């Protein structure tokens, strides 16, 4: 089977979402509903796709950018039904192969293997078979189109609102996924008439046309939960739960330990022997390499965690990299463009932003390190602040290899502290410190012998008597 184009219908508003955004743009596990449908189609082997857009069309179009040239769009300016929508896609088909896959953009849980089965079934059927459709059995078919059979053969699909009482009892439904012979599709769509309760052109009537020529075959799907269409926020929620469980199961099979309710978004990479603890969220383009440990409650968005790095509980990181065997947390905050190199440590209540900690550098407690470069093996004491912002501009702090910055120091950027230099505790650094120098800026300590008891006596005498 080669050269199959998918037509994906995504022009509707999805009124039941009660949203100003198109329904297909709502996200499940970090990707849009539509993105999941397209991914399944490509995994199943389709070569390219035409997405039919309408409501919120510019935003839907923009969301397709990650797919590049494999996906193009067709405009359905007015939503006149699923059959009309397919008709709008036809001019975009180009040099389509023998069959076209027709899908809805609102079924994110669809599995590639079911789409593949649909396409191979049609491909291996006699030429007079013009269409294969997926069907499934559900306990509650309300809202779905029912599969009308006669002598076992598919005859038609009747929409819920067009069904008779007897037809409503049918439990076999139409999930709206079809493989159709390209040569049959165009004339069949042109014959559609709006003779139904909604006055729309129903793509389901194309199935009836195929059936008339005994050319419609069905493929029964064994897991109806994978075919649900998302129409409201409750369905969005339950579909997302199913997908998180699916992602976790796939990773567990590959050798990743996942505990409790950890949630890993679609597209995140986790290598075998990594441990993802309870309450962790991994988002976006995050990659967790072999043997890394991500402890309870960490939230990572677009972060690369190298082999055997250890993230202690409740650390939050965004668009940053964490090196081999580095240690982060508990309660660290790595803001965008932080680079924590091999064996470096970032401890509790340390915030970094656009800062590099080179190999083995340490900032173990309470610090703000913004716009800096901290040399290999340097040590940043508790309470150190890189004063990087003067109210107008950001400035850089550069700290040389092996330097030592004592606790409670303020480094007023722009400034450079040389290799192996020593900044005494409590120093306010306002100018560059040469390599190997000591910087100290604090008032000399004075001790007044015996002064404490004299002070107490004075204070006691002045205390007002209780009345
Ligand atoms: C459709 C099927 C129904 C099936 C159900 C499965 C028809 C007539 N009915 O019903 O048999 O059981 O899906 O979920 O096909 N769309 C457009 N343009 C339009 C109308 C719809 O692009 O003019 C898109 C929507 O954005 C959506 C998809 O087509 O992604 C399905 O439309 P929807 O209105 O949800 O169809 P259902 O009533 O669910
Ligand atoms: Ca629907």
Q: What is the pLDDT of residue 436?
A: 98
Q: What is the pLDDT of residue 13?
A: 87
Q: Which residues pair with 74 in a beta bridge?
A: 52
Q: What is the pLDDT of residue 301?
A: 98
Closest residue to atom 11 of ligand 1, CA basis: 145
Catalytic position from the list 36, 341, 365, 395: 365
Residues 80-113: tens digit of each pLDDT: 999 999 999 999 998 879 999 999 999 999 999 9
Alpha carbon distance 292, 324 (integer Å): 9
Alpha carbon distance 445, 438 (integer Å): 18
Asked whether 56 lines ligand 1 (CB < 6 A), one says no
User: Encoding tokens for residue 403?
Assistant: 């330097």
Give the ligand at the shortest distance from the Cα of 158: 1
Is 365 a catalytic site residue?
Answer: yes
**Backbone dihedral angles phi then psi of residue 67, each to the nearest 5 degrees:** -85, -10
Give the ligand 1 atom nearest the CA of 231. 35
Asked whether 423 lines ligand 1 (CB < 6 A), one says no
Q: What is the pLDDT of residue 2?
A: 78
Q: Which residues pair with 10 in a beta bridge?
A: 53
Alpha carbon distance 218, 208 (integer Å): 13
Q: What is the pLDDT of residue 200?
A: 94
Asked whether 87 lines ligand 1 (CB < 6 A), one says no
Q: What is the pLDDT of residue 466?
A: 82
Q: What is the pLDDT of residue 275?
A: 98
pTM of this prediction? 0.92
Q: What is the pLDDT of residue 352?
A: 98
Q: What is the pLDDT of residue 214?
A: 77
Q: What is the pLDDT of residue 398?
A: 98
Query: Which residues of the chain register pLDDT less than 50?
Result: none
Do 37 and 105 contact (CB within 8 A), yes or no? yes
Q: What is the pLDDT of residue 119?
A: 97
Alpha carbon distance 53, 9 (integer Å): 7
Closest residue to atom 29 of ligand 1, CA basis: 9
Q: What is the pLDDT of residue 467?
A: 76
Strands in 287-288's sheet, in edge-to-edge order, are 269-270, 287-288, 304-305, 321-322, 339-340, 356-357, 372-374, 397-399, 415-417
Give the ligand 1 atom nearest the CA of 10. 26
Residues 136-159: tens digit of each pLDDT: 999 999 999 999 999 999 999 999
**b/e for 297-323, b at 16 or more Cβ within 10 A?**
bbbbbbbbbbbbbbbbbbbbbbbbbbb
Give the ligand 1 atom nearest the CA of 12. 26
Asked whether 104 lines ligand 1 (CB < 6 A), one says yes
């Amino acid at each position: 089977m080669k050269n199959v184009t998918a037509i994906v219908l995504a022009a509707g508003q999805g009124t039941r979402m009660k949203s100003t955004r198109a329904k297909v743009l709502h996200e499940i596990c970090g990707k849009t509903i539509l993105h999941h449908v397209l991914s399944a189609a490509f995994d199943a082997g389709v070569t390219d796709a035409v997405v039919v857009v309408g409501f919120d069309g510019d935003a839907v179009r923009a969301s397709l950018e990650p797919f590049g040239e494999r996906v193009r769009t067709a405009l359905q300016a007015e939503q006149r039904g699923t059959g009309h929508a397919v008709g709008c896609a036809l001019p975009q088909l180009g040099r389509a192969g023998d069959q076209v896959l027709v899908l809805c953009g609102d079924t994110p849980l669809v599995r590639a293997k079911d789409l593949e089965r649909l396409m191979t079934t049609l491909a291996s059927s006699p030429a007079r078979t013009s269409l294969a459709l997926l069907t499934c059995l559900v306990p509650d078919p309300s809202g779905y189109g029912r599969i009308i059979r006669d002598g076992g053969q598919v005859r038609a699909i009747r929409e819920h609102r067009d069904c008779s009482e007897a037809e409503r009892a049918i439990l076999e439904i139409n999930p709206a996924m079809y493989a159709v012979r390209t040569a049959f599709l165009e004339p069949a769509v042109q014959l559609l008439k709006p003779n139904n309760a909604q006055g729309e052109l129903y793509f389901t009537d194309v199935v009836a046309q195929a059936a008339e020529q005994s050319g419609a075959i069905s493929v029964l799907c064994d897991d109806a939960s994978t075919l649900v269409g998302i129409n409201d926020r409750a369905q969005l929620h339950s579909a997302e739960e199913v997908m998180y469980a699916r992602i976790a199961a796939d990773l567990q099979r590959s050798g990743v330990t996942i505990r409790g309710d950890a949630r890993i978004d679609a597209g995140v990479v986790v290598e075998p022997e990594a441990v993802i603890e309870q309450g962790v969220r991994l988002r976006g383009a995050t990659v967790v390499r072999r043997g890394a440990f991500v402890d309870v409650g960490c939230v990572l968005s677009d972060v690369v965690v190298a082999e055997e790095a250890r993230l202690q509980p409740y650390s939050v990181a965004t668009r940053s990299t964490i090196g081999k065997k580095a240690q982060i947390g508990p309660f660290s905050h790595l803001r965008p463009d932080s680079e924590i190199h091999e064996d470096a440590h970032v401890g509790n209540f340390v915030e970094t932003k656009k800062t590099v900690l080179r190999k083995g550098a340490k900032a173990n407690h309470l610090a703000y390190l913004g716009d800096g470069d901290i040399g290999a093996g340097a040590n940043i004491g508790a309470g150190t602040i890189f004063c990087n912002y003067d109210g107008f501009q950001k400035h850089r702090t550069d700290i040389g290899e092996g330097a030592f910055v004592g606790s409670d120091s303020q480094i007023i950027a722009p400034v450079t502290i040389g290799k192996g230099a020593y900044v005494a505790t409590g120093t306010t650094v306002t100018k560059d410190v040469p390599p190997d120098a000591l910087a100290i800026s604090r008032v000399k300590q004075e001790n007044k012998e015996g002064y404490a008891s004299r002070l107490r006596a004075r204070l006691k005498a002045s205390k007002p008597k209780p009345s």
